[in-house]
A and B are shown apart, each in its own frame.
Chain A
């Protein structure tokens, strides 16, 4: 099963390597990883998505906690959480197709962030499924380039 872990770490050289090394050294799998600074100086926030059975996820969480530079680990999978990814999609958009593409952009509430004579670059934000859906729709026009972030996630204020 897919799990989303939010990991608070000391922002110091080598911390990413410690986390990544833990996964590779113990045969765990990182699907996506996103890292950025927090508002607190010296602290970074990582969101890691990974897969494994219950026992493996338990080991991953414990092993992460054991790293000296890791401050906190939360498995967001069991909670209500807001999860978002962003993708930039450069798609073929000759005159005849352009209207159709713009309609899709509108329906998905995406943005056109760059325009060329024969192509458009679209910014889409959402959960994994939404990105998958728009990619499927745009594929028939021809996707020329594609860049995508990992998941970032926060626990929802109201846990229902």
Chain B
């Protein structure tokens, strides 16, 4: 075989893992890797900021289910990835992040562009490595892909000292399989527990399915949807679970939680059995924990044992992959002789009533464009076939509420960490993975400016990503809290002197549109969606519009502020 350098081994490993895209930014510590890159069958996407690289890899991963790969240099290159890594960690997204490091003899000497990135990212990665010997490299890369993509997925970081990338060895063989004595995720449910769960559901009069991102990461969309339909159980999901159930189904209640629908939150409050699937009872979902689902016995399916009994006590825990658990649950329910149509009939009527009397809505205005209407129009124009990414704040909530997601991996948003500046680079990653699809970043005028530099990336690679800015001149969600809970003290939330987003788009070589009148919304969106260029559509919306329903932080889910 001859001799390999560390850099060659690394790239050969990535080739064998089937990596197609690497998102990165070069620097002194990784120059050897970049030197070897031409000739390998993957495309390197040169971003304009390392945070953008990680979010783009994350968007790629969320839209495909495959791990996203990043490569950055040491020091500031590495620290710039931290927000992206923490974002992926909170939402359980598989990423492999390679960071350059100073040569091993210099580690610990405060060398130029040295930082202890393994120490810094220990609490926000699933696992991380410092490679000290070129002979360990292949095994570590294999372990990293294995760890990132199995069990509860997550980001793994590998720190690569420059001398290890230059070192030579003839001892290279990329392992096919890996076994680790200290890491063996459990995929199969305990049948006894599943039987108990089935029995509980069979006895229930008012069951409710509460799905989360775990359904999407375990590709359990079909099993989840089938379970709900076959046994006539209404469905709500978290933000991360949007797309796990068809948004036009009769059993669909919408999202639950702080900005959830009236029907979903009332159903949680009233249900007698709550079936949590791949969700983790986050505080934005539960509101006041003491009054969450007060009448329900809880079944909790999750692959991560730490998710269970972390926030709420659970009657029947099932530690397993969601898909396997749902299949098993369906089998067990099949064995029971129940007329679920009849048994849950009253309950279905009741939740439909809630949905009918309190749908998601907003007050029309003659003067202003309503941001909710813009999202509705995006849905109508794309018929739910687009991939939607979001920034964070009001734009994110409206994108969650007023667009119906029918398929998994079509709603891509930073749920756990709530990272502003996430949506646009994530859209770049999703667009690369799905060149044939329309990818739209629903943004705010605040968030979009946090990674606006990636316009250069999108334009460079001819990516027709559409950014629709719901421009209200405010950091809208914080302003909403200030209005409702801080006596209208709009401290530091007015974005005075925003850039001219149309000119800004043009400056980057993208296409810019401005929408100031209601009747322009549809034609301009149509035009933007039809072009093959990267576009910004800057829509001037009602400045002080709020997101409703809203459960104030720490209140019970039934204490909703409505439109």
Say whether B183 contacts A68, CB under 8 Å.
Answer: yes
State whether the Cβ of B309 lies closer than 8 Å to any Cβ in chain A: yes
Contacts of A18 in B (CB 8 A): 122
Please tell me which one of the listed residues B119, B126, B147, B305 contacts residue A62 in the complex, with CB atoms under 8 A apart: B305
List B66-121 residues whose CB lies under 8 Å from chain A.
Answer: 118-119
Taken together as a complex, chains A and B put the C-alpha atoms of A71 and B180 apart, in Å, by 9
Taken together as a complex, chains A and B put the C-alpha atoms of A17 and B306 apart, in Å, by 20
Given contacts A59-B306, A65-B305, A66-B306, contact A71 B181 (CB under 8 A): yes
Interface extent on B, as a size class? 10 to 19
Taken together as a complex, chains A and B put the C-alpha atoms of A58 and B319 apart, in Å, by 15
Chain A facing B: main interface SS:
helix
Contacts of B122 in A (CB 8 A): 14, 17-18, 21
* Per-residue contact bits, chain A 45-70, to B (CB 8 Å; 1 contact, 0 not): 00000000001001100110110111
Say whether A70 contacts B306, CB under 8 Å.
Answer: no
State whether the Cβ of A25 lies closer than 8 Å to any Cβ in chain B: yes
Taken together as a complex, chains A and B put the C-alpha atoms of A62 and B307 apart, in Å, by 9
Say whether B310 contacts A21, CB under 8 Å.
Answer: no
Contacts of B119 in A (CB 8 A): 14, 17
Given contacts A21-B123, A68-B126, A68-B147, contact A10 B306 (CB under 8 A): no
Please tell me which one of the listed residues B118, B182, B306 contacts residue A71 in the complex, with CB atoms under 8 A apart: B182
List A32-91 residues whose CB lies under 8 Å from chain B.
Answer: 55, 58-59, 62-63, 65-66, 68-71
State whether the Cβ of A27 lies closer than 8 Å to any Cβ in chain B: no
In the complex, the number of residue pairs spanning A and B with C-beta atoms less than 8 Å apart equals 37
Say whether B183 contacts A14, CB under 8 Å.
Answer: no
Please tell me which one of the listed residues A55, A70, A71 contacts residue B309 in the complex, with CB atoms under 8 A apart: A55
Taken together as a complex, chains A and B put the C-alpha atoms of A58 and B313 apart, in Å, by 12
Contacts of A68 in B (CB 8 A): 126-127, 147, 180, 182-183
State whether the Cβ of A13 lies closer than 8 Å to any Cβ in chain B: yes
Say whether B182 contacts A62, CB under 8 Å.
Answer: no
Taken together as a complex, chains A and B put the C-alpha atoms of A68 and B127 apart, in Å, by 7
Which A residues form the contact surface with B (CB < 8 A)?
9-10, 13-14, 17-18, 21, 25, 55, 58-59, 62-63, 65-66, 68-71
Which B residues form the contact surface with A (CB < 8 A)?
118-119, 122-123, 126-127, 130, 147, 180-183, 304-306, 309-310, 313
**Closest 7 interchain pairs by CB?**
A68-B127, A62-B306, A71-B182, A62-B305, A25-B123, A68-B183, A63-B306
Beyond A66-B306, A71-B181, A71-B182, 8 additional contacts (C-beta under 8 Å) are: A14-B118, A14-B119, A63-B306, A68-B127, A68-B180, A68-B182, A69-B127, A69-B182
Show 22 residue pairs from A and B whose CB-CB distance is below 8 angstroms, ordered by the A residue: A9-B182, A10-B182, A13-B130, A14-B119, A14-B122, A14-B130, A18-B122, A21-B122, A25-B123, A55-B309, A55-B313, A59-B306, A59-B310, A62-B305, A62-B306, A65-B305, A66-B304, A66-B305, A68-B126, A68-B183, A70-B182, A71-B181
